[in-house]
């Protein structure tokens, strides 16, 4: 499997249909081919995955790739180009150095935080949210040092992604139209964290709340509601697959693939 070199025992995959996604490809913007290539990689690697952990890593890596496209779209004058490329290079280097699929998952989760933080800074030229962004990154570093396992690191990165996406959502909503919805998603994250019995449920919680925030962000960018049907379709897939999930790992794949599909919608919105 491309990028996924770990060789664990194969298990039966019940959720391969997730790899198909719900995003149309009938676009002609300058980034259209790149966006479609990321979605094609997601589908290909999903089919080629030997186990559900490789599917999760696939979702994490495609999230990074799609965020990099969006970061370039926001970067009109190329000010952040070197930083974006450096994050992608770190992803490639860490992938080569990874000994297990869990390290690949953590690699993708960490690069995701970095790119969302970068996008948050791009949208905040006046520095209004700078302290809030840095506070999340400081929390990330502290919790990473304190983590006992790689799963706790992934949960930490997943939660920090939610917090940074909330910043992005607020930045795109100066009139406060979505403010209550954003705060409700953060409240759900906190509630589900308290209710979680395992770190795996925490990771799934982070993925699900990230998906909810990305749906808000997609609607904020889509002022004319051109993409409303696609956003609704991705969320409907997420809800259906959540009901069908046999365990928390299936939920994590579901959340991860939902993130990629919503990022693809956002990337196409910005590519018009």
Q: How far is CA 210 from CA 79, 94, 162, in A?
A: 26, 24, 5
Q: Which of the four pLDDT bands, split at 50, 70 and 90, describes residue 11?
A: very low
Q: What mean pLDDT do residues 32-36 have?
A: 97
Within-domain flag for 122: yes
For 187, the domain range is 16-270
Q: Is 37 helix (H, G, I), strand (E, B) or coil?
A: helix
Residue 47: inside a domain, yes or no?
A: yes
Percent of the chain clearing pLDDT 90 (strictly above): 89
> Mean per-residue pLDDT for 47-57?
98
User: Would you state the pLDDT for residue 15?
Assistant: 43
Is there a domain that residue 258 lies in?
A: yes
* 65-87 exposure pattern, b = at least 16 Cβ within 10 A, e = fewer: bbbbbbbbbebeeeebeebbeeb
| Across 65-83, average pLDDT | 97
* The pLDDT of residue 206 is above 60: yes
The b-or-e profile of 158-190 (16+ CB within 10 A means b, else e) is bbbbbbbbbbbbbbbbeeeebeeebeebbeebe
Q: How far apart are CA 122 and CA 124, in angstroms?
A: 6
Confidence of residue 28 (pLDDT cuts 50, 70, 90): confident
Ranking 5-9, 64-68, 237-241, 261-265 by mean pLDDT, the lowest is 5-9
pTM given for the model: 0.92
pLDDT of 222: 97
> Region 98-112: what's the mean pLDDT?
98
Tell me: the pLDDT tens digits for 161-170? 999 999 999 9
Secondary-structure breakdown of the chain: helix, strand, coil percentages, each rounded to the nearest 5:
75, 0, 25
pLDDT of 5 above 60: no
Which of 30, 98, 40, 96 has its CA nearest to residue 65?
40
Task: Tell me whether residue 6 is in a domain.
Answer: no
Domain count, the chain: 1
Q: Is residue 5 part of a domain?
A: no
Please say whether the beta carbons of 67 and 35 come within 8 A: no
What average pLDDT is seen over the chain? 92
Whether residue 9 is contained in a domain is answered as no
Closest CA to 18 of 253, 272, 262, 259: 253
Residue 175 resides in a domain: yes
The C-alpha atoms of residue 151 and residue 129 are separated, in whole angstroms, by 29
CA-based nearest residue to 114, from 130, 139, 94, 137: 137
Asked whether the beta carbons of 269 and 221 are under 8 A apart, the reply is yes
Is the pLDDT at 9 greater than 50, yes or no? no
Decide if 33 is inside a domain: yes
Rounded CA separation 183/10 (Å): 40
**Residue 27, token pair as written in the block:** 């676009």
- Given a cut of 90, is residue 26 above it in pLDDT? no
Which pLDDT tens digit goes with each residue over 169-199?
999 999 999 999 999 999 999 999 999 999 9
Residue 58 to residue 46: CA distance in whole angstroms: 7
- Enter the tokens of residue 104: 């690949």
Residue 49 is given by DSSP the state -
What are the residues whose beta carbons fall under 8 Å from the beta carbon of 203, sequence distance 6 or more? 151, 154, 155, 158, 248, 252
What's the mean pLDDT in 139-150? 98
Helix (H, G, I), strand (E, B) or coil at 261: helix
Contact status, residue 171 vs residue 187, Cβ threshold 8 Å: no
Residue 61 near residue 91 (C-beta atoms within 8 A): yes
CA distances from 127 to 32, 132, 179, 199 (A): 31, 10, 20, 34
């Amino acid at each position: 499997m491309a990028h996924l070199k770990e060789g664990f025992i194969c298990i039966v995959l019940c959720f391969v249909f997730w790899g198909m996604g719900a995003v149309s490809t009938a676009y002609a913007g300058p980034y259209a081919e790149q966006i479609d290539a990321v979605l094609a990689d997601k589908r290909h690697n999903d089919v080629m995955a030997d186990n559900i952990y490789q599917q999760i890593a696939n979702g994490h890596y495609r999230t990074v790739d799609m965020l990099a496209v969006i970061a370039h779209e926001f970067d009109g004058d190329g000010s952040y180009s070197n930083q974006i490329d450096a994050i992608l290079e770190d992803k490639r280097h860490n992938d080569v150095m990874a000994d297990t699929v869990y390290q690949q998952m953590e690699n993708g989760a960490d690069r995701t935080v970095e790119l969302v933080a970068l996008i948050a800074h791009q949208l905040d030229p006046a520095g209004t949210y700078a302290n809030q962004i840095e506070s999340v990154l400081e929390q990330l570093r502290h919790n990473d040092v304190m983590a006992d396992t790689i799963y706790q690191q992934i949960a930490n990165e997943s939660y920090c992604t939610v917090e940074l996406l909330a910043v992005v959502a607020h930045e795109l909503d100066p009139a406060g139209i979505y403010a209550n919805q954003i705060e409700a998603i953060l409240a759900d994250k906190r509630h589900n964290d308290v209710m979680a019995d395992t770190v795996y449920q925490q990771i799934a919680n982070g993925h699900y709340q990230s998906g909810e925030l990305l749906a808000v962000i997609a609607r904020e960018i889509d002022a004319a509601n051109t993409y409303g049907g696609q956003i609704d379709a991705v969320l409907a897939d997420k809800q259906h697959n959540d009901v069908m999930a046999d365990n928390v790992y299936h939920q994590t794949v579901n959340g991860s693939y939902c993130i990629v599909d919503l990022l693809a919608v956002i990337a196409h919105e910005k590519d018009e």
